[in-house]
Structure 1
């Protein structure tokens, strides 16, 4: 059936009807007073979502572009940086830093496990001369469905005193608690197609006062991603370059929806969806790729035995128009990932799990009782 596609991936995520209708409006001039009013409202609501009074800047980029901006605006060639790598995106930030001739040192944990904050602490404490200028951490590692202990890592960075903490919050902002001002996070980056519930195209960078001090002496090249330009124009409710106007319409709508739901309810919903998904997968006798204690509320990675991960994805798409994410790099063909981020409800999880059960039956999977997955998810929702 046409037009029944159901996205259950970590991004792009489903878009609510209010946002879709907003996207369909006729564009307006981005230098107009009407756009400035929208920009003012969106900026204020972004600060609410980020739990900060600091600048939250909007860039016409993906999450990767937001992270690149977050790295290059506050550092200089040769600066020593620590990058936590326990998945695809941590490794990507190390690659970005290397491309800009930073002195990169990785703190590595195998995929599927959370970063060990103590390894970061040891390196920071050993830095007696305060040469480490930044610690770069992926909060929710989308490639494996693991969430890292950002609060503890940040505490160790603060004890160091000199280093900035730069955070990839692309799949955690809007799904889990990221209290920027309470924790004193310096640079926090995210993307529109995740918890914000709108299509790809906007990146967001929250910047602390400490980071702005580092900006004054940072010497890495930048132009389009020069956050100073965005800060100056944001103060006048405008942007330095042409923004995707209709995405701002949609963002205005979804931020209003999020305020109506409330931060605590948003976080609780994502936790509930994650718990239901994981309990359902266990009931279907499918191994989870990562322990419960470090599971991300954005996405659940499954490492099936007895059925092929890509066959599961292909059958879900063909038979039910439900799209799951595949594995990345060496996990390609070994895992599939179920997204439960953004505009996702309990009904969506029950639908996806029911389709997954039918898919397993079709592919000859065994070792589970028919209906066990849906029952396990429903039990979580009934609690």
Structure 2
């Protein structure tokens, strides 16, 4: 039996037809007028998306490249940074910082939990030598949404730069950079922006730009001041990912057509659908609070092989979801509901998950999980984004 493939991973995500058609257009030269027009047109949309008056730099790389660019541009070898380590991508901040020769102070957070802003403040007070905080907005490996706004309220009153990985948050949940006081916000193309991988976007605050201009570039390829100079001319420093930027022009039109609040409302509603249905199924949500709006992680019952669950979901139902990483491999399932994903995709994924858990020896007595999940979805659409929706759980 043929099933329509449904990509419910935390990136890459499905591509809208309008974006696919834009990606398929004839190639244009990245140093000619037609491309410059696109770059300058996209820039205004990106500033709206990021919530900043500063330029948003397109970089030819994955999100990890943008993380590397931020560390190499804002900190010199020997600088000390505080790393919020609550998952695989918190670990990645530490690895990138160590490769740059930074001294890392680790603030370890249990996987599935959000960092306490008071713990960040305590660490900064204990060590005045810390010049930056590196953290995730959304920790993709766990489905946790860290309280970046509250942390920014702490760092913006100190000589400490806040660098936030928004790879699975930008275009999915609110993160207005200037209003919150984030010094560096970055993202990748393959999640909320509904594009293939290969393009990263990064913006710096005014005080972060002053720091970047004062530090000798630590990387030939990632030179943010030079990228900014080229962007002012509608160019990138090196060869541009032309088709991805053409696609970005279209995807941003789609995202911004009805305003960011409409996007956030949709993402919150999908989150309420997913979390409500999983709870009714009797499964334990891995991030009980401070949860991401584009991904939901759920712990599988004891004795259930998550790798086999995912294999069956793809083979029998065409549903492609993600598993856990490191110690969570085979223990959790990560359901992506970001970008070009709607309620019907999520409902299909939940059905497949329920049936495949049953097939490998698990059982859920609840049969109305989709009914309750969809009711939560409809209720969330009628409320301001972020308003909790309480449903009856069996």
Q: Is TM > 0.5 for Structure 1 vs Structure 2?
A: yes
C-alpha distance in 1 between matches for 2:161 and 2:240: 29
C-alpha distance in 1 between matches for 2:110 and 2:231: 40
Task: Give how far 1:219 is off.
Answer: 3.6
Structure 2 residue aligned with 1:242? 239
Structure 2 residue aligned with 1:5? 5
Q: Choose which of 279, 284, 292 in structure 1 pairs with 2:281.
A: 284
Is the 1:316–1:323 Cα contact (8 Å) retained in structure 2?
yes
Structure 1 residue aligned with 2:294? 298
Task: Give how far 1:126 is off.
Answer: 2.8
Q: Choose which of 248, 251, 257 in structure 1 pairs with 2:248.
A: 251
C-alpha distance in 1 between matches for 2:112 and 2:285: 10
The answer to whether 1:70 aligns with 2:67 is no
Task: Give how far 1:83 is off.
Answer: 0.6
Q: List alignment gaps of at least 5 residues for structure 2.
A: 380-394
Deviations 1:82-122 (A, max 9, x none): 01011110111011101111011011111111111111101
Deviations 1:310-346 (A, max 9, x none): 1110110101111110111111111110001111111
Q: Choose which of 362, 370, 374 in structure 2 pairs with 1:374.
A: 370
Written as runs of structure 1 = structure 2, the 5 A alignment for 1:132-147 is: 132-147=130-145
Q: Secondary structure at the match of 1:222?
A: coil
* TM-score, length-scaled by structure 2: 0.93
Structure 1 residues 162 and 254: CA distance shift in structure 2, 3 A: same
Structure 1 residues 206 and 234: CA distance shift in structure 2, 3 A: same
Answer with 26-35 or 219-228: which moved more.
219-228
Structure 1 residues 3 and 243: CA distance shift in structure 2, 3 A: farther
Aligned length: 378
C-alpha distance in 1 between matches for 2:245 and 2:217: 30
Answer with 213-222 or 64-73: which moved more.
213-222
Structure 2 residue aligned with 1:260? 257
C-alpha distance in 2 between matches for 1:290 and 1:204: 27
Task: Give how far 1:3 is off.
Answer: 8.3
RMSD value, Cα: 1.3
C-alpha distance in 1 between matches for 2:342 and 2:183: 32
Task: Give how far 1:380 is off.
Answer: 1.1
* TM-score, length-scaled by structure 1: 0.96
| Deviant stretches of 4+, over 6 Å | none
Structure 2 residue aligned with 1:169? 166
C-alpha distance in 2 between matches for 1:30 and 1:189: 23
Task: Give how far 1:286 is off.
Answer: 1.3
C-alpha distance in 2 between matches for 1:228 and 1:216: 7
C-alpha distance in 2 between matches for 1:143 and 1:21: 31
